[in-house]
Amino acid sequence: MNTNIRIAAKADAQFVHDVYGYYVEHTNVTFYVKNFSLEAFKEKIAKTLAVFPFYILELDGKPCGFAYAGAIRPQDAYQWTVEGTVYLSPEAPRRRGLGRLLYQKLLDTLQAQGIQTVFGVITAANEASIRMHLNMGFVEAGRFKRMGNKNAEWLDVVWMQKTLNVLGDDPEPPVPFPKLGQPPLA
């Protein structure tokens, strides 16, 4: 199993669109009921990379997962706190550590940027994701009952939290991803 993690490009939008679309259509992992357009994913990749990392995991030269970070809230006081997202394609081998490998790359980059806290927002029934987060040092920060309804089912949501940096009372703003230079790719 030969893996490579690289920075996403607009050309990866079709892959991201298709993988996310699978989860929208076939699972309750995401609360969206309709996938975004290909153009929306091109814009998301570009806008994310202006501030945060957006990575593609390749297995034997073929994309099999993606991970990115985004602002948790738009207000300036939240700039040291992000939400992390990771998805593997439905064809990716399971229980091989691929999601963890990809997510760790994202977390390492966020730590280098000066992000203090990262959250994972997970449908409570997604036990594999909750287990991965716990194994990576996240703690449960909150559990919200019946937060959304999809596929005729009320769903709970779990917020998992991990501290990446302990910052002082007057921290420097996080370093935008492009200013880190090209971080070494795993």
Residue 182 lies in a domain: no
Tell whether 185 is covered by a domain.
no
Nearest CA to 118 among 145, 78, 156?
Answer: 78
Which pair of structure tokens corresponds to residue 110? 């966020």
Residue-level pLDDT at 184: 43
pLDDT average, residue stretch 25-35 = 95
Query: Which CATH number does the domain housing residue 61 bear?
Result: 3.40.630.30
Q: What is the pLDDT of residues 59-82, one digit of tens each?
A: 999 999 999 999 999 999 999 999
Give the range of the structural domain holding residue 86, as residue numbers without chain letter. 3-175
Helix (H) or strand (E) holding 147: strand 139-150
